[in-house]
Amino acid sequence: MGGIVYMSLLEELQNLDIDDSIDELHNETLPLVMWGAGSSASEVFYYLQNRGIKIADIFVDDEYYSENMVLEGKTVLSYSMLKEKYDMVNVIMGNSYYEKKEILKKKECIGDVFCLFSMSYHVFERTSYEEIEQHLQDFQETLDVLEDELSKSNFMAFLKTRVSGNNRYIEEVFKYETTFFENDIIQLCENEVYLDVGAFDGDTIRMFLRKTDHRYQHIYEFEADDENYLKLRNYISDIKLERIELSNKGAWNEKGRRAFLKNQKQASGVADNTETHNYIQADISTIMMESLDEMFYYTNKVTLFKINYRNGVKEALEGSANILRDHMPKLVITVGFDCYNVRAIPKLIKRINSKYRFYMRFCRSMASGLVLYGVAEEAE
């Protein structure tokens, strides 16, 4: 029986519509310019540069242009300035707003528009079919533990996009861009104790406060990146939020210092052993990591636990095993940064606490926008 199911999963991943944008870019004769000037654009810039693809210029929409804008040593142009400089160009998108692709195509002087399939956090390479085969049982087990058909279709859309590099499989199941908490799975109450790991600049707090109408018991924020932490602290100070504690540390399975890729906005994170960084100029430092069990198990009963990590989700959960086992918080975990998290994290949580039930939703129409939700039966 299992073998038949496995084959069905494999068959779903065959004969996909492969996106060969990189090969096409090598063969294009028109100048290639990049639209966008944020942190994702920097990643795209270095990714293409390392593959011998030259970005002739960078531009933004007129309404977002300001003088003296510079990205990776290039002066950023407005769209109006671009039209004056070129008769015709091809465009590579420097962010993940896929709905903008068709709008750009209709603009004067723009030919083809290319979009790398994930467009965020260094996930530009396709996953090989052989990797899926190698870990087939793990992928199948993840599929089997998902509670509803929408979760299963989102899971398969993720795999199809990772194997093909074609984002249309996600776009086919994606409803609309939403927050972590705007769905039919997570129900928030006015007494939440919210543990936020990977708090960035406070974006998730804003989502949380809107959803709870500023009613909650306590908030604990973890943000290891210095630049992001400063923005987070300033935001909290500006809105005069109470009953909140901030920590400029990371979450891990033990206390100690780890190598950390810093000052990369949402792309900041624990550096793995091989990561000198292919796509952006790495700024590596070390940061203090803590076990969340040691910090919070006896402090407060956590009811909502969010992790938004590029690397280190497994280790953060291992260091929170007692919280998951005894507090049984609602879980919101970004797993779409790589295939490992998608196939391994549900199994890890289930091993810690078998009472959890799992769902998957896309918060954004991109592979790295896939979120795993966990709800323990007694907490429902």
Q: What confidence tier does 198 reach under pLDDT thresholds 50, 70, 90? A: very high
pLDDT at 124: 61
pLDDT at 199: 94
Q: Percentage of residues in the chain with pLDDT exceeding 90? A: 62
> Given this model, what pLDDT does residue 270 score?
60
DSSP β-bridge partners for residue 289: 250, 256
Of 21-25, 96-100, 168-172, 267-271, give the range with the top mean pLDDT: 168-172
User: Which residues neighbour 114 within 8 Å (Cβ) at sequence distance 6 or greater?
Assistant: 21, 24, 25, 90, 91, 92, 93
3-state secondary structure of 356: strand
CB-CB contact of 64 with 7 (8 Å): no
Average pLDDT of the residues in 285-291: 88
Task: Report pLDDT digits (tens) over 113-162.
Answer: 988 765 444 556 788 899 999 999 999 999 999 999 999 999 999 999 99
With a cut of 60, say whether residue 217 has pLDDT above it.
yes
pLDDT at 174: 87
What average pLDDT does the segment 205-234 reach? 95
Question: Is residue 213 pLDDT above 80, yes or no?
Answer: yes
Give the number of other Cβ atoms within 10 Å of residue 370's Cβ. Answer: 25
Name the most confidently modeled range: 25-29, 111-115, 194-198, 260-264: 194-198
Q: How many CA atoms lie within 13 A of 340 on its CB side?
A: 8
Q: For residue 215, what pLDDT is reported?
A: 96
Q: Give the Cα separation of 266 and 369 in Å (integer).
A: 12
Say if residues 246 and 223 touch (Cβ distance below 8 Å).
Answer: yes
List Cα–Cα distances, 41 to 111, 120, 208, 295, in angstroms.
20, 9, 28, 37
Q: Which residue has the higher pLDDT, 3 or 147?
A: 147
Q: What is the DSSP letter of 323?
A: I
**SS3 assignment, position 373:** strand
Mean pLDDT of 28-42: 88
Residue 234 has pLDDT above 90, yes or no: yes
Q: Is residue 74 within 8 Å of 55, Cβ to Cβ?
A: yes
| Pairing relationship of beta strands 284-290 and 256-261 according to DSSP bridges | antiparallel
In the predicted model, what is the mean pLDDT of the chain? 87
Nearest to 221 by CA among 294, 307, 300: 307
pLDDT at 254: 92
Residues 6+ apart with CB under 8 A from 51: 22
pTM of the model: 0.85
> How many angstroms separate the CA atoms of 199 and 184, rounded?
23
d(CA 70, CA 276): 24
Question: Is the pLDDT confidence value at 278 over 50?
Answer: no
Residue that is written with structure tokens 């290039």 in the block = 74
CA-to-CA distance for 195 and 290, rounded, in angstroms?
14
pLDDT in tens, 56-90: 999 999 999 999 999 989 999 999 999 999 999 99
Sign of CA dihedral 76, 80, 83, 84: negative
Q: Report the pLDDT averaged over residues 49-54.
A: 88
Distance CA 337, CA 345 (A): 12
Dihedral through CA 94, CA 101, CA 86, CA 24, nearest 10?
80
What confidence score (pLDDT) does residue 21 get? Answer: 74
Q: Which whole number is the average pLDDT over 182-192?
A: 91
Phi/psi class of residue 165: alpha, beta or left (left: φ > 0; alpha: ψ in -120 to 50)? left
pLDDT at 269 over 60: no
Q: Binning pLDDT at 50, 70 and 90, where does residue 4 land?
A: very low
pLDDT of residue 175 exceeding 70, the answer is yes
Average pLDDT over residues 302-308: 97
Say which residue, 302 or 98, is predicted with more confidence.
302
- Count the neighbouring beta carbons within 10 Å of the beta carbon of residue 146: 19
**All domains of the chain, ordered by start, with CATH?**
21-114 (3.40.50.20), 136-379 (3.40.50.150)
